[in-house]
Amino acid sequence: MRKLWLVAVVFMAVSCGETPAPQPDRAVGVPASSGAPSAEPSLATPVGNTLKAHKVPWISATPTDSSLNVVWWSGVEPCYVLDRVEVAETADAVTVTLWEGHDRRKPDAVCIEIAIQKQTAVKLSAPLGKRKVIDGAK
């Protein structure tokens, strides 16, 4: 009986190995609508009139012709939707401010807390040129 107990304890110890640590260079966000990680950020368009709209800092703004492709970290819909994008242009700079909020059509929705990247296209009145791009949320 002691041998059987000892074998069971050894088996349990061996089978309960450590879980590997998360890899910081791997994608951690998965869009709620897909089953696999995406290399491209999810496309977001402003919906307006959200609940509890607040400024959201962005991580990159890449110029393309007369627009900017703005990327930021966010959460899943309907808890985190793009409310609006405010753009202020001067001769020296372009200030882009992103606003997110909770979708008004689903005020009682509960969402998982998972980070995903989103992107949106921001139209400029003139090509960016040598103007500086500023995050209006910072």
- The yes-or-no verdict on residue 21 having pLDDT over 50 is no
Write phi, then psi, for 99 (nearest 5 degrees).
-125, 130
DSSP string, 45-94: ----S-EEEEEE--SEEEEETTEEEEEEEE--TTTSEEEEEEEEE-SSEE
Share of the chain above pLDDT 90, in %: 69
Q: What is the model's pTM? A: 0.70
Structure tokens at 51: 């609940």
Q: What is the largest CA-CA distance in the chain?
A: 85
What is the mean predicted confidence (pLDDT) over 80-101? Answer: 98
Secondary structure of residue 107 in the 3-state scheme: coil
pLDDT, tens only, 24-79 = 443 333 344 444 555 789 999 999 999 999 999 999 999 998 999 999 999 999 99
pLDDT at 13 over 50: no
pLDDT class of 2 with cuts at 50, 70, 90: low
The reported pLDDT for the residue numbered 19 is 41
Q: Please, are residues 85 and 98 in contact by the beta-carbon 8 Å criterion?
A: yes
